[in-house]
Amino acid sequence: MPRDSDLIRPSSSAPSHIQQISSDLRFIGRVSFWLQLVLGVISAVLLSFGTLILLSSTQRTKGIEIGLLAAIAGVVILVIAIYFTRRYVQFSKDILSPDPSERPKKTDTIQLIKTGIIFNLVGILLTIIGAEALIGILLQKTLLIPQATITADPNKFINPADVLIVQANTNSIAAHFAGLICSLWLLNRVTQKINIS
């Protein structure tokens, strides 16, 4: 089976600026894909464990559902954003087509990158909302614990599931941020070049 690098060997008929755009899309697409994938898998695993602990616990934290739903939505949006960063690599191959009429236009490439940016921004928004809700709940719990006494009410203590969900949410924010930075860098590179087609 041919390797990715064999499939996208620069075509001698493609101008140098097109080869550079292809190279940028391929490299940054891969970096962004793997960063988001690794952080996203960690988030999904932590979120799954946190949710399972939360659902099996008799001592549920009141109000954590909003933060949990926002965290889950952030991971779902991350999956879509990862798909778009994978498309960058496919576009890098299409750009090197020997037939200029088959190459994607500069506007198509820019639109693809902008769509990836939009999904990362929506994901960041959702995970920040989730993080704010979760951290607010944890702060409230810590402020309500009497300083010198131990209470018998377990709902006043921080639950391990609460911390797992906050950690998952933080990883999702980092993944969306990595995807956003990579997409913005690519957008800058593509818009500086003349038309791809």
Cα 65 from chain centroid (whole Å): 22
> What radius of gyration do the chain's Cα atoms show?
22
Residue 6: the pLDDT is: 45
Rounded to whole angstroms, the Cα distance separating 85 from 25 reads: 9
Residue 104: the pLDDT is: 85
Rounded to whole angstroms, the Cα distance separating 55 from 32 reads: 33
Assigned token pair, 136: 């607010």
Instruction: Report whether pLDDT(149) > 80.
Output: no
The mean pLDDT of the chain is 80
Mean of pLDDT values over 174-196: 79
Long-range CB contacts (within 8 A, 24+) of 184-189: 184/117, 185/28, 186/24, 186/25, 186/28, 186/29, 186/88, 186/113, 187/110, 187/113, 187/114, 187/117, 189/21, 189/24
User: Which residue, among 32, 10, 6, 35, has the nearest Cα to 21 in the 3D structure?
Assistant: 10
Task: Place 11 in a pLDDT band, splitting at 50, 70 and 90.
Answer: very low
pLDDT in tens, 59-117: 666 777 888 888 899 999 999 999 989 998 888 888 888 887 888 888 888 888 889 88
Phi, psi (degrees; rounded to nearest 5) at 146: -60, 140
Task: Place 31 in a pLDDT band, splitting at 50, 70 and 90.
Answer: very high
Residue 141: how many CB atoms within 10 A of its CB?
17
Rounded to whole angstroms, the Cα distance separating 31 from 36 reads: 9
pTM: 0.72
Map residue 44 onto helix, strand or coil.
Answer: helix
Task: Place 24 in a pLDDT band, splitting at 50, 70 and 90.
Answer: confident
Residue 20: the pLDDT is: 85
Residue 148: the pLDDT is: 53
Under 8 Å CB-to-CB from 186, ≥6 apart: which residues?
A: 24, 25, 28, 29, 88, 113
